[in-house]
Amino acid sequence: GNSVTQMEGPVTLSEEAFLTINCTYTATGYPSLFWYVQYPGEGLQLLLKATKADDKGSNKGFEATYRKETTSFHLEKGSVQVSDSAVYFCALGWTNTGFQKLVFGTGTRLLVSP
Amino acid sequence: DVKVTQSSRYLVKRTGEKVFLECVQDMDHENMFWYRQDPGLGLRLIYFSYDVKMKEKGDIPEGYSVSREKKERFSLILESASTNQTSMYLCASSLFGEADTQYFGPGTRLTVL
């Protein structure tokens, strides 16, 4: 079945460090891929997405490239800020019996210290 | 901005009680979803609805039911709450045909004693 695997956290970084959060997927067909972010005390919000192979999603300095050959969608940011501390969820979108669904990874907590 | 609101941020109930979790969205979205979020398991889909009075089971529907009498409101019902239903419950909505771009509420942390 369709599934998403992402690295366990927490990931602890100092401000201005480079961030990578790994995400790989298993899917039939051609899914869309997403990163959602959950700030403390809030619901999830869409961070970025890519709908086909080699697409790059980007937002707020974060980037991820849809790599079909390695079935990956790693999240990167060149210089993290304390305000980026949150839980990041990789997700896969697919259509089943006419309905689109999302399958989420387990989440990776990022902690950024000043 | 899309706003999804949930009736309670924190809720404590006793085993065997009937529990209602309410979700309201203000953007005329056709699709609405209920998830539960548990550490190490991520988000798991309980039920979703693509129209008024329509519902579909998600991955873990056992022990839950839902109601969608109006387009903006989607209720999750625990008929007889059990301790293993202690969790964070998240509601989401999306436009029809864009179910992958979901807007989430802040969540309800339910504790069943």
Contact residues on chain A for B93, CB-CB shorter than 8 A: none
* Burial classification of residue B63, based on how many CB atoms lie within 10 Å of its CB (0-12 exposed, 13-18 middle, 19 or more buried): middle
Beta-carbon separation of B104 and A44 below 8 A:
yes
Question: Residue A96: is its pLDDT beyond 70?
Answer: no
Q: What is the pLDDT of residue B99?
A: 63
| Nearest chain B residue (CA) to A32 | B100
Q: What is the pLDDT of residue B1?
A: 66
**A&B contacts, CB < 8 Å:** 52
DSSP state at residue B107: -
Which among A43, A91, A101 is the nearest to B90, CB-wise? A43
Please tell me which residue, A77 or A96, carries the higher pLDDT value.
A77
Q: What is the pLDDT of residue B72?
A: 95
Contact residues on chain B for A29, CB-CB shorter than 8 A: none
How confident is the model over A41-59, as a mean pLDDT? 93
Contact residues on chain A for B41, CB-CB shorter than 8 A: 106
Distance between CA atoms of residues B48 and A10, nearest Å: 31
Omega cis (within 30) before A114: no
Beta-carbon separation of B100 and A100 below 8 A:
yes
Contact residues on chain A for B60, CB-CB shorter than 8 A: none
Q: What is the pLDDT of residue B70?
A: 95
Which pLDDT tens digit goes with each residue over A2-16?
899 998 889 999 999
Integer CA distances (angstroms), B76 to B46, B69, B94, in order? 9, 12, 17
Q: How does A19-37 read in b/e, with b if 16+ C-beta sit within 10 Å?
A: bebebbbebeeebbbbbbb
Which among B4, B99, B106 is the nearest to A99, CB-wise? B99
Q: How confident is the model at residue B89 (pLDDT cuts 50, 70, 90)?
A: very high
Which among A41, A93, A104 is the nearest to B43, CB-wise? A104
